[in-house]
Amino acid sequence: MNDTDFRTPNNLNTPRTNLGWLFKMAWRDGKASGKRIVLFMASIVLGIAAVVSIQSFSENLKENIGLQSKALMGADFVIDSKQPPNKRVLDIIDSLGGADAKSIDFPSMAVFPNSGNTKLVSVKGIEGGYPFYGKLETDPISAASEYQASGGALVDATLMMQFGLQPGDSISIGKIVLPISGTLISAPGITGVSASVAPPVLIPYSSIESTGLVQVGSRVGYDFYFVAGPKQDLDALDEKVDPLLDAENADLDTHTSTGERLGRRYDNFGKFLNLVAFIALLLGCVGIASSVHIYIKEKLPSVAVLKCIGASRKQGFLIYLIQIAVMGIIGGLIGTLTGLLVQQSFPLLLQGFLPFEVQISYAVGPIVMGLSLGLFMSVLFALSPLLRTWYVSPLEVLRIQETTSQKSRTANILVLSSILIFIFLFALWLLGDWKYALSFTFGILVVFALLGGIALLFMRGIKKYFPKQWSFTARQSLLNLFRPNNQTMVLILAIGVGTFLISTLYFTKDILLAKTSMEANKKAPNLILLDVQTDQQKAVADQITTKGLPLLNNIPIVTMRMQKIKDRTVNDIREDTMSTINGWILNHEFRVTYRDSLISSESLEEGNWPEIAPKEGVVPISLSDNVARDAEVGIGDRLVFNVQGMLMETEVASIRAVDWGRMQLNFSVLFPSGVLENAPQFRVLTTRTPDEGTSAALQRELVKAFPTVSILDLRQLLKVVDGILEKISWVINFMAFFSILTGIIVLIGSVRTSKYQRIKESVLLRTLGAKSAQILKINALEYAYLGILGSTIGILLSLVGSQLLAVFVFKTAFIPSLIPFLVVLPGITALVLAIGILNSRSVLMSPPLEVLRKEGI
Amino acid sequence: MPKILNISHLGKTYTNGPKRLTVLDDISFDIETGETFAIVGPSGSGKTTLLGLAAGLDSPDSGTVELCGTDLATLNEDQRAALRNREVGFIFQNFQLLPTLTALENVLVPLELQGAKNANSICMELLDKVGLADRSDHYPSQLSGGEQQRVAMARAFSSTPSILFADEPTGNLDEETGEKVVQLLFELNQDSNTTLVMVTHDLELAQRNQRILRLKGGKMIANESTIRL
């Protein structure tokens, strides 16, 4: 050694970061201690599995809709109208070379003469080779090609089974009786949901007229199906022809636009499920952050030693970053594979919602996303605790100071901001709306902040008002909650968020079910008679009342379309590309009623509603708030309606809030009495039947006497709705299962990690002579406090959240279910307790020294 | 002889709220290359703080530390780490082995940080020298206190440091084991011509060094040669 060997600052640059060595160190250290955080890897695995499965399935759904859009429509494009096509529409059809097939559809009561049973069905009369894509799946197979020629009917499979029908039996629709040619198993565009309300019945087009059911005021749809030429540009056609048809109250839909619309509809459901999955992922991230926090805390002395013998800050930091990143990659990989497996079950879960069979394939996007999410989220959520390795001083090896690696405030803020930005961007990507994404991020922040704040207050509260007179074990367990290395915050967050999610799911289901529940209101109608002609109404009403049943409503309905909005014709508005008026307002056939009072589902928001119209001049009307918003009109604005050929000038006199969720007839446009009484109209009558038998008998009699009247049996409909809700809740529960399972794993992980914090104390107590029962009691009480506190706060937050949902989203009263209080709260507390006690076993059952050696402490 | 450590007017004060505690006050001394040097004094006299400052683990409030010809104040934290890696070895009272690394892996770390080749054979030789070649794949928790300290010594010498700082190297060992460790420490020191700076309150152990620095209440009360003693 001589003077010249001494280093100068210039050649003492930070040692080059040898990546190989860093990986070697990460591996050496990881293999000896990695098992401590394996559980947390499991939590991120579940989160990623949830997100990947939903994402991948959504991609598949989109792809399938794209591939099967022609089969969903049965044609390349369709011209449809809710009224008999006028000459101009027919001219357009001719100019397109004439339709390749056409159909007429309407709801009607079907009677099955063999049994006398009746059922509301959706009748569709078809002429031509429709469907041109996809197929009518029938039993026998030949029935699909023969029913038109043989003049038979194809009847929905469920309906056939329900009434024990066989091909060859008869079905009566209106004035005709047709033989059943076969069972209709599937047809383009028919979903399980629509088929359960009004099952489809296909008959030859030529038979429609003889049913006698197509009359003025009937709800009839006219469709013309086209097969495009090989090079025909459907978008250009849509752009050119659709405005012309719009002016005639008809519409052109191409298979691509229908596919897109369908895609959007399922997208919303997908978004909701995505959020549930995202919450599972976030829970996993809480797990990652908390585990790495404890893990790094244990590693700080080693980092200090490494720094002491010459490792740079970067090297110390990178060793553990590599460990976390590798764990994230492995977690991402396992999660992605699990997600891809899970998505295989989705077609089964969603059976009945989808109008086609989904072919599952493996989309690249979600796979890449799953893999990168694993890495990105692990690193992002581990950064805050990881930063401590950067700031730990090598001086700590000399035990001059306690482990006080103070992180930089700026670094902390940067990490926290990155996490929030990430949550926001991910939510934005999922929801596609920055307001929703911001609300979601804010909501998450509030829940976490509240839980964290309450945990902090709790700790301070115990410290300040410590019950010194309590027994030794009770005091020790309380002390554990705020002593150094306590797990109070992490456990309360994990327990609280998990409980919050589970309870919110229960409460939301309560709200949804309460909205559809009819049984609560014994006076509400359960049988609705539609399409009752004015001249039939007295006879129909008599038939109801003579059976001793109440006539609850007799509501007149007049159909009309919008002609002018604030002095601009709807055609002008359609052509105005700058107009922001919602398109449905311009094309919709409004079913309007008139009466002199508001009903229970309505409340006046603005203006006054004259109960009786002035004898002359402009008619004051009332609009529902959604129509006023979509038509961009307010009080005093003028609207002209086309009432079946006659123009009627009206003025918006009031705007109503309408609870559309109620099972009763609601109207978006309301006229006062004294205006529409002489307009062509039909009526809706309602009654309440005490049981299914009475209901079926009345339906049979009514259909026999009045074949044009359609009957909606709300009791049956409610069963369908219940079935749908059950299925939806099944799907939601399935996704929530990921969140719950992740929550439990985070919980097990947190409790296990806290074991390493508690083990020394427990061993010391054992050494000092504490009995197993005392240590068990200390541990059990600590976890019981945490379980009760975490789950109670979670449920209370969920109550507030659900109340807000009920008021602002569902606009209904909220009566919370007791399940979260009776099952979730004790259940989660018991779970926390069980995990905690299981973890204490090793301390209780082994000699103190053996425990310390075994745990590597 | 060139000076490997030159400390001049060193001062360190800790602040705890309104209280200020001066741990070291105006300490000056130097150590020649190859010298063995003991820092002694009662508990709380500032021995360990002085060791930490001399090795560049902490920064002084006043004065300068020149280690291996470099003024530590001119280096940032990572440069000081690099200097330690090349020139400094450490032995601690509580061994400070990395618990998740085997004995061999612990010894390897300083050399691996330098990117040295043949590190494995060098370290196995060192473990052999300290009598632990057959325990090379054992984790610290599987070794006794004396064995852990011998692994720590092998680690300290693995990068052939110019200067070795030992903080109470026998503090956690029984007399017999402690004696063996001390013998080994002086042997290794002699073999590699390393400067040894030792903090101890064991006067007998201190006497085996060439010079002793006495501290009391943060002040230097003596800096004398043991030969004259």
B38-49 per-position pLDDT tens digit: 999 988 888 888
Residues A95 and A160 occupy one common structural domain: yes
**Is the Cβ of A306 closer than 8 Å to some Cβ of chain B?**
yes
Is B46 in contact with B218 (CB distance < 8 Å)? yes
pLDDT tens digits, A550-586: 888 888 989 888 999 998 998 888 888 788 888 788 8
Tell me what pLDDT residue A403 has. 46
pTM score over 0.90:
no
The B62-67 sheet, strands edge to edge: B19-32, B3-16, B62-67, B70-71
Q: Name which of A6, A19, A315, A853 to mutate to probe chain B: the one with the most chain B Cβ atoms within 10 A of its Cβ.
A: A6
Tell me what pLDDT residue A581 has. 85
Question: pLDDT category, A520, cuts 50, 70, 90?
Answer: very low
Is A820 in contact with A728 (CB distance < 8 Å)? no
Query: Before A140, cis peptide (omega within 30)?
Result: yes
Question: pLDDT category, A361, cuts 50, 70, 90?
Answer: confident
Residues A578 and A612 occupy one common structural domain: yes
CA dist., res. B177 & res. B188, Å (int): 16
User: Residues B38, B44, B45, B51: what is their CA dihedral angle, to the nearest 10 degrees?
Assistant: 50
Cβ pair B58:A14 closer than 8 A: no
Tell me what pLDDT residue A611 has. 64
Residues A252 and A117 occupy one common structural domain: no
Alpha helices in A601-713 (DSSP H): 625-631, 692-705
Query: Which residue segment(s) compose the domain that A843 sits in?
Result: 466-522+716-857
Residues A600 and A732 occupy one common structural domain: no
Q: Name which of A8, A22, A27, A309 to mutate to probe chain B: the one with the most chain B Cβ atoms within 10 A of its Cβ.
A: A309
Tell me what pLDDT residue A191 has. 65
CA dist., res. A66 & res. A701, Å (int): 46
Q: Is residue A695 part of a domain?
A: no
Tell me what pLDDT residue A519 has. 46
CA dist., res. A762 & res. A597, Å (int): 74
**Is the Cβ of A856 closer than 8 Å to some Cβ of chain B?**
yes
Least confident of A265-274, A437-446, A689-698, B179-188: A265-274
pLDDT (mean) for A594-613:
80
Q: Which of B2, B51, B82 sits opposite A398 (nearest CB)?
A: B51
pLDDT tens digits, A30-81: 887 766 667 667 778 888 888 888 888 878 877 777 777 788 788 889 998 8
pLDDT (mean) for A589-613:
82
Residues A747 and A851 occupy one common structural domain: yes
Strand pairing partners for A659? none
Tell me what pLDDT residue A650 has. 92
- Domain ranges (residues) in chain B: 3-225
CA dist., res. A317 & res. A292, Å (int): 13
**Is the Cβ of A35 closer than 8 Å to some Cβ of chain B?**
no
Q: Beta-carbon neighbour count of residue A588 at 10 Å?
A: 18
Tell me what pLDDT residue A223 has. 92
**Chain A residues near residue B88 by CB distance under 8 angstroms:** 310
Complex ipTM tops 0.85: yes
Cβ pair A8:B78 closer than 8 A: no
pLDDT (mean) for A346-371:
77
**Is the Cβ of A614 closer than 8 Å to some Cβ of chain B?**
no
pLDDT (mean) for A713-721:
73
Reply yes or no on whether the pLDDT at A528 is more than 90. Answer: no
pLDDT (mean) for A639-656:
89
Reply yes or no on whether the pLDDT at A5 is more than 50. Answer: no
For B102, the closest chain A residue by CA position comes to: A28
Cβ pair B113:A33 closer than 8 A: no
Residues A264 and A312 occupy one common structural domain: yes
Q: Is residue A710 part of a domain?
A: no
pLDDT (mean) for A814-835:
84
Q: Is A232 helix (H, G, I), strand (E, B) or coil?
A: coil
Residues A442 and A471 occupy one common structural domain: no
pLDDT (mean) for A524-552:
86
pLDDT (mean) for A516-542:
76
Reply yes or no on whether the pLDDT at A336 is more than 90. Answer: yes
Q: Is residue A542 part of a domain?
A: no
CA distance A766 to chain B (A): 21
**Is the Cβ of A212 closer than 8 Å to some Cβ of chain B?**
no
Question: pLDDT category, A669, cuts 50, 70, 90?
Answer: very high
CA distance A464 to chain B (A): 22
Alpha-carbon distances of B154 from A656, B111, B184, B185, rounded to whole Å: 86, 11, 10, 10
Reply yes or no on whether the pLDDT at A3 is more than 50. Answer: no
**Is the Cβ of A10 closer than 8 Å to some Cβ of chain B?**
no
**Chain A residues near residue B100 by CB distance under 8 angstroms:** 28-29, 32-33, 302
Q: Is A621 helix (H, G, I), strand (E, B) or coil?
A: strand
CA dist., res. A544 & res. A857, Å (int): 84
Residues A255 and A192 occupy one common structural domain: no
Q: Whole-angstrom distance between the N-terminal and C-terminal Cα of chain A? A: 41
Q: Which residue has the tokens 């005392």?
A: A774
Q: Choose one of A181, A206, A227: the last residue of a domain.
A: A227
Residues A242 and A291 occupy one common structural domain: yes
Residues A730 and A845 occupy one common structural domain: yes
> For B3-225, CATH number?
3.40.50.300
Report how many domains make up chain A: 4
Q: Choose one of A650, A666, A687: the last residue of a domain.
A: A687
Residues A115 and A242 occupy one common structural domain: no
Q: Choose one of A167, A192, A227: the last residue of a domain.
A: A227
**Chain A residues near residue B91 by CB distance under 8 angstroms:** none
Reply yes or no on whether the pLDDT at A12 is more than 70. Answer: no
Task: Give the pair of three-digit tokens for residue A556.
Answer: 């007149």
